[in-house]
Chain A
Amino acid sequence: MRSADSTARDSGAAPRPPKLQVERLSKSYTMGGVHLPVLDAVSMAVAAGEFVSVIGPSGCGKSTLLNIVAGLEEPTQGTVLLDGAPANDRLGASAYMHQKDLLLPWRSVLDNAVLGLELRGVSRREAHRRAQALLPTFGLAGFEHQYPHALSGGMRQRAAFLRTVLAERPLLLLDEPFGALDALTRAGMQAWLLGLWQSLSKTIVLVTHDVDEALLLSDRVYVMTPRPGQVRTMLEVTLPRPRAYTLTTSHAFAQLRAGLLAMLWREGHEALR
């Protein structure tokens, strides 16, 4: 997908519109008569095939941002554009993954994975065939007939990710997908996703509060301020691809990490003041 992008650029044709564009998005809630602004004029753009992270302190509205992009909530102001066009009816246009695995406990791993295909009316046999083909990649081969409760947290999250990929949408929205896992499992999942993403050819927006995760996986990182969330800055992750998990111990990574942390901590201190 990225190679297609570069050919377009090389031939001098009109640049392709970004896969996802968010323009001056604001969201506020009114709870018990109290006005609570959550997002304040957030703008960002994600090119097709790009991996972009949104990082910020908890409560900065990054999950709300993802919910709005997914079509689960409507913004108070601003627009969401998909492929350059305003997307008012965008629910179901992107695949969405939550911090909780949200696997249906009465369905086997396989039947959970094909949920998106099933809801679209793809036959059970064909849906199973597509899922079976991906099981080894997701480390679930041999576990397809198990119920979710029999799996480890990491496996459950991979099953949830398989379900997300099998929704067969070009845009994946991941809301702290590894946030509920222990540090070691999380590192393993990050390394795995790093290897997997390049073969998936999907556009990914990842919401996280894990600095290493954002830097290791992303092409670019948007840094949000505390509530009401605004985009404070955008950081290009200049690390070359393909990347490996060992990159996290390199000098270049440490420098990027220090910069990003300083940015986040500054936000934190401002909030305390």
Chain B
Amino acid sequence: MKPFVEKASPAPRPGQGPSARRGYRQPLALAAGLAWQWLPPVAIIALALGLWEALVRLAGTPRWLLPPPSAIFQELVARHAMLWQHTLVTLTEVAAGFAVALAVGIGLAIAISSAKVLERAVYPLVVASQTVPIIAIAPLLLIWVGYDLRPKVIVVALISFFPIVVNMVDGLRSVDPDMVNLLRTLGAGRWQVFRKVQIPASLPFLFSGIKVGVAVSVIGAVIGEWVGASEGLGWLMVQSVPRFQTALVFAAIVILSVMGIALFALAAALERALLPWYYTAKREQALEST
């Protein structure tokens, strides 16, 4: 057997791939890339905050009406211990609720994609669950399951399982039927097709659902706390408004935003770490189209 010699070039070693050739691994280029990525959002936020601070000071707006960013920052620093305590409560609700959403969401997606009967039976209910205003269900949950952590966990789960189910179902269905046929000719049974093709193919979709899900899960926790709670950032906001502690309300909002962004970033980082093939493929395509 003669070796095939159309392209005799050796395989690129790590760090010498196409990305390296285009200068991505050089420190200067890396720094420039990072700056390009982070500068615009940082700049626009800084500009907005500066404008806010200046306008509030110039107009002499009272603090209870609209505190300047500096006052919110002072509040964050001065009451950090109390805020941290409530943050942990809300974070626990989000984490527990999202874990439930993930388990239920993946389970439902697999059920829906595995049999037409289940799809017809379950999918409409999944969609219907999102048409009922969560704010209407939350007080009922309070009556049904109590005043503790559980109703918040349920609200978080209810609000964030939906994008997980919908995306994962799309992912499980995204498999090329010819690919399934190929596996069958190689002797694969239904379970093997599911495990070796459908599940890996659905993971990028699942992560899309997770990213949307974590972002809205924080909203779920806050709604749960508004309706009835004794702690947590949502409860803190409800307590602070009638006392005109507006800076504290804003401090809670800042923390909730940071929490949402951090959870989203965590999901994105996990996706990159777990699906390297997906990211390199996307980057390669982006480079080809430039």
- CB atoms of B277 and A147 under 8 A apart: yes
Residue B41 interfacial (CB < 8 Å): no
- CB atoms of A143 and B11 under 8 A apart: yes
Residue A70 interfacial (CB < 8 Å): yes
Residue A105 interfacial (CB < 8 Å): yes
Provide the main secondary structure of the chain B interface. Answer: helix
Q: Which of B187, B192, B200 has the most CB of A within 10 A?
A: B187
- CB atoms of A139 and B6 under 8 A apart: yes
The segment from A3-11, A38-46, A114-122, A253-261 that touches chain B is A114-122
- Would A147 and B280 be within 8 Å (CB), given that A116-B186, A142-B10, A142-B11 are in contact? yes
Provide the main secondary structure of the chain A interface. Answer: loop
Residue A150 interfacial (CB < 8 Å): yes
In chain B, residues 151-180, which have Cβ atoms closer than 8 Å to a Cβ of chain A? 176, 178-179
Give chain A's interface residue range (CB within 8 Å of chain B).
35 or more
Across the interface, name the chain A residue whose C-beta is closest to B2. A195
**Per-position 1/0 for A174-196, Cβ under 8 A of B:** 00000000000000100010011
Residue A146 interfacial (CB < 8 Å): yes
- A-B residue pair count with CB separations less than 8 angstroms: 100
- Name B280's contact: one of A94, A102, A142, A149 (CB within 8 Å): A149
- CB atoms of A119 and B188 under 8 A apart: yes
- CB atoms of B186 and A102 under 8 A apart: no
- CB atoms of A98 and B178 under 8 A apart: yes
The segment from A152-160, A209-217, A218-226, A229-237 that touches chain B is A152-160
- CB atoms of B1 and A137 under 8 A apart: yes
Complex Cα spacing A188 to B5, Å:
10
- Would A196 and B1 be within 8 Å (CB), given that A142-B10, A147-B280 are in contact? yes
- CB atoms of B182 and A102 under 8 A apart: yes
- CB atoms of A104 and B200 under 8 A apart: yes
Residue B85 interfacial (CB < 8 Å): no
Residue A91 interfacial (CB < 8 Å): yes
Residue B4 interfacial (CB < 8 Å): yes
Across the interface, name the chain A residue whose C-beta is closest to B281. A149
Residue A84 interfacial (CB < 8 Å): no
Residue A71 interfacial (CB < 8 Å): yes
Residue B183 interfacial (CB < 8 Å): yes
- CB atoms of B11 and A138 under 8 A apart: no
- Name B186's contact: one of A100, A142, A167, A196 (CB within 8 Å): A167
- Would A91 and B184 be within 8 Å (CB), given that A100-B178, A195-B2 are in contact? yes
Residue B7 interfacial (CB < 8 Å): yes
- CB atoms of A96 and B185 under 8 A apart: yes
Complex Cα spacing A188 to B4, Å:
10
Contacts of B188 in A (CB 8 A): 119
In chain B, residues 246-290, which have Cβ atoms closer than 8 Å to a Cβ of chain A? 275, 277-278, 280-281, 284-285
Across the interface, name the chain A residue whose C-beta is closest to B288. A149
- Would A154 and B187 be within 8 Å (CB), given that A102-B182, A106-B200 are in contact? no
- Name A119's contact: one of B1, B183, B200, B281 (CB within 8 Å): B183
Complex Cα spacing A163 to B176, Å:
18
Residue B197 interfacial (CB < 8 Å): yes
Q: List 11 A-B pairs, Cβ < 8 Å.
A: A67-B181, A70-B185, A91-B184, A92-B187, A98-B181, A104-B200, A116-B186, A136-B1, A139-B5, A149-B285, A192-B4
**A-B contact sample (4 more), CB < 8 A, given A115-B183, A137-B3, A145-B11:** A98-B181, A115-B196, A150-B18, A154-B6
By Cβ-Cβ distance, the 9 closest A-B pairs, closest first, are A139-B4, A142-B11, A92-B187, A96-B185, A136-B3, A149-B281, A116-B186, A106-B277, A137-B1
- Which residues of A pack against B, CB within 8 Å? 67, 70-72, 91-92, 94-96, 98, 100, 102, 104-107, 115-116, 119-120, 136-147, 149-150, 152, 154-155, 158, 167, 188, 192, 195-196, 199
- Which residues of B pack against A, CB within 8 Å? 1-7, 10-11, 17-18, 176, 178-179, 181-188, 192, 196-197, 200-201, 203, 275, 277-278, 280-281, 284-285
